Every structure is written in C-alpha cells, then in structure tokens.
Amino acid sequence: MFKTRQNLLSVLRPLCILLRITGFALFSQTTIKNDSKISYFTVFNCVTYIFHIVYIGYAVVNTATKFTSAPDTLRLVYALVFLVNAFALIGTNIIWDKYKNDKFLQLLKQFYNFDKKLQRNNIFLDYEKLRSRSAAVLIIEATIYAYFNTDTAYQFWKMGIKPTTIFLDFIYYGGLHAMQVTMTGKCFTLFAIIENIFDRLSFTMKTDEASPDMVRNIRHLYHETYELVVQVNEVIAFQLVVPFCVTFIMVVFHIYYQIVDSSLQESVTVLVWLSTILLKIVVVIVQIHGALTSADKIKCAAIKLALRKDRALRKEVNILSLQLLHERITISGANFFSINISLIGDFFGKGIEYLLILYQSYE
C-alpha cells in the first residue's frame, strides 16, 4: 500500500518551497536530511536580509502615513488596528522567525529522523495524502490573496493613485498575505503529520498481532511523538497566537468598518478576503483538533488490548495507559489559551458580541 522509497521530505516540500521563496526559511530542503547547519551569509540569504529590511522600512512609512492622514476617528482606529496587525505579522515572520530559524530546522530534522524510525518499524505515513492536502491549502489561500491584491491594485488605479504607489502597496500587501499563508502552512502541515502519526500508531495497536514487544515499541514511539508535539507547540507558538488573536481582532473591526462605510458594503472582493481569513482560522483549529482526536484513539486501542488474557501484554498496556495519562497531548497558543474545537465557537461568539457593541456605539 505504501512505497518505502517515499519519506517525509515529499510532504514538507510544498511548505519548504514557500518558506524558501519568501525568505522566511534560511535553509533549503536538502539541509533537513543531512547534518549541515544554516549558512546565514549565503548570497540568497544576504539578498533576503536586504529585502526584508527595506520591506520593514516601507511598512513603517505606509502605516505611519495611514495613521497620520486618517480624516476621522473611525479611520484613525482602523489605521491603528491595521498597524498592530501588520507589525505582529512582520515581527513574527521576519524578525522572530529569523531568530528561531535554527530551532525550526532542528524541528524538521526531528520529524524527518522520526519518520525514518517509523519506517524501520514498518509504519508508513500517508505521504501522498499529506502532501496533497498541504499543497491544496497553501495554493487555495495564496490564490485568493493574489486575487484580492490584484483587485485592490486595480481599484487604486481607477482612483488615480500613482503607479509607483500602487506597485509598492501591491508588494507590501502581498508580503503580509505571504506571511499569513506561511503561518497557515506551518500549522496545518505539521499538525497533519502529527495526526497521521497517531493514526498509524493506533492502527498498529488494533492488529491481531499485538504482543508485549509491540506495545512496548508503541510506548517508545508515542513518547517521541509527544516530544515532537511539545517542540512544535514551542517553535510555532506565535504562529498560533497572531492569527487567533491579532488578525481576528482586525477582521472583526474590518467587518464593522464595512458595515458603517457604504462604499465598502457591495465589495465582493473584501468579503472574499474576510471569509478566507476566518476560514483559515477554522481550518487550522480543525486540523489541531484532528491531531488531538487521533491521539485519543491510542487510548481506545489500549483499553481493548487490556481486555486480553495475556498477562505480559496487559502489563505493557497498563504501563502505556499510565504513560498516556502523564503525557496527555495538549496544544496552546504560547500558553495564553488552549486550542481545541470549542475555540471556534468561542471566537465567533466573541466576534459577534464585539460587533454588536461596536455597532450600538456607532448608532
């Protein structure tokens, strides 16, 4: 069913290509499978540094201009919200990720080496499915943002704005959207892999060939997967906080801004853009919930094995059960909040609540 010549690199390829093109990863995909470290001062990386410095400079000028030229309080508040969101994205993807690039590389190496260990134990992930899902999410989100950027540039052109300004804003907004896509890609891809690992472990436990040695092996593999989850949660903590907090606040205020500004109420492009950001938050939460659910499947498999008459097997299952109790899989946004499926209702409930408060204040 699975091809042993495949490995996790094929799953990581869409994400690695995106990270390398945008300059958010200072290493190539081949670095993951060998012992080499990041070469920080290659020609490509030096060009990336220069581009990112210039980009940050333009971001400062752009947001400052929006803030100082706001004609009324509503636009002033919107400019402030946009400023916070823009620099949260820039700070996370360009500044913080540069600092954490080596840790991210080590994390990917851990995934790659663990996949090889799984293969040595005749456990193979659904490589094609994982790669297809990851690529589809990245392409769909990037395509919608590209449409939004292109339509926005066209609207600016119809308004008579200078072509130079239109071009620079197109690059600026495109960069912010690229950061959104990379954050989605990191969270979705890594947690999809974790979900698949847990699924394969639970499937292995459900076979009729269950033995004490097999359960003992599953215990070790589960522990390593648990360590991977902890590392993922630490390395991409801000990748979870920014879209779930800062970007969500901007989207809520943008919806309010669109309600009270009659010139925006018929804009299909803005509605598509808002829907995409909200949908991507839901997709990431659902994927994380899938990983948590798959981890729970191992508990169900352990309970079934505990009913067998083999004493040696039951002993290993009891140890595994104790391990599952102490190594419970949880995901959080930098320890500010726990991420599970109920978070969707909490976010949208609060969003509607704040929209009503803002609208009543406007009235």
Own/partner pairs, 264-272, CB within 8 angstroms, 24+ separation: 269/147, 269/148, 269/151, 269/152, 270/148, 272/144, 272/147, 272/148
Mean pLDDT (10-residue bins), the chain, 363 residues: 68 94 90 88 93 94 86 80 88 88 93 94 93 95 93 88 91 93 94 96 84 91 95 89 80 77 66 85 93 92 86 89 91 87 85 77 61
- Residue with tokens 């659910």, as numbered in its chain: 293
Q: How far apart are CA 276 and CA 274, in angstroms?
A: 5
pLDDT of amino acid 264: 58
Determine the straight-line distance between the first and last CA of the chain, rounded to whole angstroms. 62
pLDDT of amino acid 262: 62
pLDDT of amino acid 197: 96
Q: How far apart are CA 48 and CA 46, in angstroms?
A: 5
pLDDT of amino acid 3: 45
pLDDT of amino acid 6: 78
**Cβ 281 vs Cβ 351: under 8 Å:** no
pLDDT of amino acid 265: 54
pLDDT of amino acid 267: 67
Residue 170 burial (CB < 10 Å; 0-12/13-18/19+)? Answer: middle
pLDDT of amino acid 182: 94
pLDDT of amino acid 263: 60
